[in-house]
Structure 1
Amino acid sequence: MKKYLGITVLLAAWGLVLPAWAVASSPDTLVDNTAQEVLTIVRQDKDLQSGNTAKILALVEAKILPHFNFTRMTRLAMGKNWGKATPEQQQELVNEFRTLLVRTYSNALTTYKDHTIKVEPLKNNATDTDTTVRTKVIDGGQQPVPIDYSMEKTSDGWKVYDVTVAGVSLVTNYRSTFNSQVRDGGVDKLIKTLVEKNRSLVAADKKASTN
């Protein structure tokens, strides 16, 4: 599961700067253009290929944040428990969840540099504001991995609010864990767990960089 979900960052890491077509394009064109762009960047950058943690994180931060609606993703992952959190707690949850996703899956950038990405053309109406972009990650003779992006149209362009990898929703996958944490110790317990997880990932990154 971690391997499959890790692919999402490769496809989700979009645009070092937000190009004009990222706002104006249809969602399938946006996914296709940016996926090919990030593959090119990774294939040409030896630091990224060698696993330079700082550079990978900088790349992911620069590319993923403009195109994902982390507030909606966190709200969906929280489900009915979202309303139990104060506005301050909600913002903490969004920040920690975003950090968790970026750090957990950033290493996928180097893992999937030799894969091919195929984006299925959409047949949506121009007035649609919510859609699913379907893609496949192809690795030689291996079975293609389907990755679907749930996207919404906003004033800032199309944003991803869920990713489904091989039939498993990223949001749903985290919801059971979040529900369990809130049930055991409330929203504060969930926030503490996320903070501790992110700290452990930072420590692991630092240890890896010194080896």
Structure 2
Amino acid sequence: MQKYFAVLLSSLFIAVGGVSAQVVDQSTPDGLIKNVVSDVMASVKSDPEIQKGNIPRIVDLVEKKIVPYTDMRRTTEMAMGPNWKKATPEQQAQLVSEFKNLLIRTYSGALSQLRDQTVQFKPLRAAPDDKEVVVKTVVIGRGDPVPLDYRLEKTANGWRVYDMNIMGVWLVEAYRNQFANQISQNGVEGLVKFLQDRNKQLAAAKPTN
């Protein structure tokens, strides 16, 4: 299941790397997802170092090909829920940065496992003036097809992904209880420290493959 979250993440975070900003279709949400997913999967499959599990190379790919097309601030705010307003502006910035790093490092290893998977894109059901949409896809590979959905919002800079769903579980919801528990026990600063410590552990961990 982790490998499919990697595909999700590949679309959630993407900075322009192998494809220039002019080539990526940002005019429609499904067009953006198509370009992002296709570019990331092609980059993974053509890079032997990524396939070997080279974490720095994978992290670099994610930073370059995923992050700019996301709204990590909104993702973090939704995961925090009402507790977001309890955080100072400095703490909010720390939380956004640490949560982004956590997602990258948690699923970076799974990117190296992408091999023969393909992605089918479902017809977009949205009105032309919608500001928020859900793009539905299905990952085809070994085993049963895996549905992946992306929530996007229209911003001044184009469409941005802020949440993802794999087999009925939204990413934001998956972290909301964990964040709430950390804050109830140790406050907002405790959550910041928890994320920092977790990221240090992941950064120090050796590749499993």
- Give the TM-score of the pair, scaled to structure 2: 0.92
Equivalent in the alignment of 2:179: 178
Q: Which has the higher helix share?
A: 1
Aligned mates of 2:118, 2:62 — CA distance in 1 = 19
Equivalent in the alignment of 2:145: 144
- Counterpart of 1:110, as a letter, is S
Residues paired across the two proteins, number? 207
Task: Extract unaligned runs of 5+ from structure 1.
Answer: none
Alpha-carbon spacing, 1:2–1:38, altered in 2? closer, same or farther (3 Å): closer
1:6 aligns with 2:6: yes
For the 8 Å contact 2:30–2:124, the answer to whether it is kept is yes
Aligned mates of 1:65, 1:36 — CA distance in 2 = 16
Aligned mates of 2:13, 2:68 — CA distance in 1 = 9
Equivalent in the alignment of 2:167: 166
1:157 aligns with 2:158: yes
Equivalent in the alignment of 2:39: 37
Aligned mates of 1:18, 1:91 — CA distance in 2 = 28
1:52 aligns with 2:54: yes
- Counterpart of 1:115, as a letter, is Q
Aligned mates of 1:46, 1:105 — CA distance in 2 = 18
- Counterpart of 1:8, as a letter, is L
Over aligned residue pairs, what C-alpha RMSD do you find?
1.9
Aligned mates of 1:88, 1:190 — CA distance in 2 = 13
Give the secondary-structure state (helix, strand or coil) at the position aligned to 2:203: helix
Aligned mates of 1:13, 1:118 — CA distance in 2 = 19
Task: Give runs of aligned pairs for residues 1-211 of structure 1, distance below 5 A.
Answer: 2-14=2-14, 15-16=16-17, 18-22=20-24, 24-140=26-142, 142-204=143-205, 207-208=206-207
Give the secondary-structure state (helix, strand or coil) at the position aligned to 2:119: strand
- Provide the identity percentage: 43
CA deviation profile, 1:143-181 (whole Å, cap 9, x unmatched)? 111111000011111101101111001001000000000
For the 8 Å contact 2:3–2:111, the answer to whether it is kept is no
Aligned mates of 2:3, 2:32 — CA distance in 1 = 24
- Counterpart of 2:159, as a letter, is W
Aligned mates of 2:207, 2:37 — CA distance in 1 = 27
For the 8 Å contact 1:147–1:165, the answer to whether it is kept is yes
- Give the TM-score of the pair, scaled to structure 1: 0.91
Give the secondary-structure state (helix, strand or coil) at the position aligned to 1:124: coil
For the 8 Å contact 1:137–1:146, the answer to whether it is kept is yes
- Counterpart of 1:184, as a letter, is Q
CA deviation profile, 1:104-144 (whole Å, cap 9, x unmatched)? 1112222123101111121322211110000111114x211
Please report how far the alpha carbon of residue 49 of structure 1 lies from its aligned counterpart in structure 2 after TM superposition.
Answer: 1.1
Please report how far the alpha carbon of residue 4 of structure 1 lies from its aligned counterpart in structure 2 after TM superposition.
Answer: 4.5
The runs of at least 4 aligned residues of structure 1 exceeding 6 Å deviation read none
Give the secondary-structure state (helix, strand or coil) at the position aligned to 2:34: helix
